[in-house]
Structure 1
Amino acid sequence: MRAWAISPATNSSANSTAAFSLGAVISNTPIAVTDVREGVDVTSPRFVLDPVDETFFDTAPLRWRFPIDLAADPDQVWAGLTARRPLWWCRMLTDVRFVNDPPYGPGAARTVELGRTLRMEEHFFRWEEHRRRHSFYVTRANLPLFASFAEDYRVDATARGSRFVWTFAMAPRRGFTASSAIGRPMTWALLASLVRDTSRYFGSGTVTRPSSTAPRIGTDR
């Protein structure tokens, strides 16, 4: 079985073996992750994830849907979500950018760095400009946490501004349990931070009680 050594990036001599936790991401502490067996520094996405389609948002073992009521008008929110460097206001996202040039559409690619620790490459399989909606799945990641990971963004007009419905769907990689790899408390804290930052940036909106589906998952799916 492969072991992972995780240590602060400022201390390359540390060599403690541990299962990766989103705690390091939430604390926004840069870490160095090394494959102990191979002795390779894991800094670039090399773990391939399974592609998904829109049905994954209803069938994934772990799902969170956040309806966020915002004071900004829907076109303003959509412009922020589709800028070359979107979501820059989210403190946990240390770098997010589109790889290709606008105008964007199905097939667009984006890279994201989460907490200076987790790096992912994303492929947009749905882009409906007229509906202000798009969806992507992750193609590669630098840490072997997920078998599949996807997000869906939808912005609707409301009487007082707009509603941004942000949906996350994921399946853990074989051998990583929901409790040790992407446990619900850690995942919830991370996603809630993204939602709070978005709500603050676009005005004094409110977050409707989110829906989630996160059943217990066995240690070896």
Structure 2
Amino acid sequence: MARRLRPVELDFAESAPLRLVFSAEVTAPPRAVYRALAEDVANWPSWFTAVTAARPTGEGAGREVRLKGGTFFAETIMATEPYERYAYRVDDTNAPGLRALLEEWRLTPTTRGTRVQWTFAADGPVVLRIALRLGRAGLGSSFRGAMRNLDRRLTRSAAQQ
């Protein structure tokens, strides 16, 4: 059953009771990474294996995302700074315990491609925060795998052009 979460603003990425921050470097340039994150939402499942379906809503102002195991999120896009930043908050979910959730993706050009930083900012009861901290390694592994998959996909796409 879906529940409405507390609406948060972008500063929640820095002030949330729980912040999990992950980073990885990919060889693709920021432009290509940003397009995959923010403009090609429907193809997230092809590189982020935890995602089974994703689609833009509200003429691009939001997204609906489904994860393996049946979790879903209805989201509002909070920031679209081309080639630099993409952020969204979760408005509705069936994930138990969450009170607020915002995810922020930051892209930084490097000499070899792009540094991708993903911040998972959440609020919920202490038990949820402990569980998420304990699950940090799994979330990190999922993120790193997604970045490897995305990099391969973007490299193949660039080679075909």
Displacement, 1:176?
4.5
Show the counterpart of 2:44.
Answer: 87
Counterpart for residue 96 of structure 1: 54
TM-score by length of 1: 0.61
Q: When you count helix as a share of all residues, which structure comes out higher? A: 2
**2:129 counterpart residue number:** 178
- Work out whether residues 47 and 141 of structure 1, in 8 Å CA contact, stay in contact via their aligned partners in 2: yes
CA deviation string 1:9-65 (max 9, x = no partner) = xxxxxxxxxxxxxxxxxxxxxxxxxxxxxxxxx3xxx20101111221111111111
Which amino acid in structure 2 is aligned with residue 199 of structure 1? Answer: R
Normalization by structure 2: what TM-score?
0.82
> Contact conserved, 2:26 with 2:114, CA < 8 A, in 1?
yes
3-state secondary structure, aligned to 1:53: coil
1:177-220 CA-to-partner distances (Å, cap 9, x unmatched) read: 434xx3422243034213322223304xxxxxxxxxxxxxxxxx
1:163 aligns with 2:121: no
- Identity among equivalent pairs (%): 26
Query: Matched residue of 1:85: which SS?
Result: helix
Q: Between Structure 1 and Structure 2, whose CA radius of gyration is higher?
A: 1
8 A contact 2:23–2:118 mirrored in 1 = yes
Q: Determine the structure 2 residue equivalent to 1:64.
A: 20
> Which blocks of at least 5 consecutive residues in structure 1 are unaligned?
1-41, 204-221
How many matched pairs?
150
Runs of 4+ in structure 1 off by over 4 angstroms are none
* Correspondence 1:109 to 2:62: yes
CA contact (8 A) 1:92 1:194 kept: no
Q: Which is further off, 183-192 or 111-120?
A: 183-192
- Secondary structure of the equivalent of 2:7? coil
Aligned with 1:125: secondary structure?
Answer: strand
List gaps (5 residues or longer) in structure 2. Answer: 153-161
Measure how far apart 1:86 and its partner are: 4.3
Distance 1:53 1:156, change over 3 A: same
1:142-174 deviation digits (Å, cap 9, x = unpaired): 2332000010112222111111111110011x4
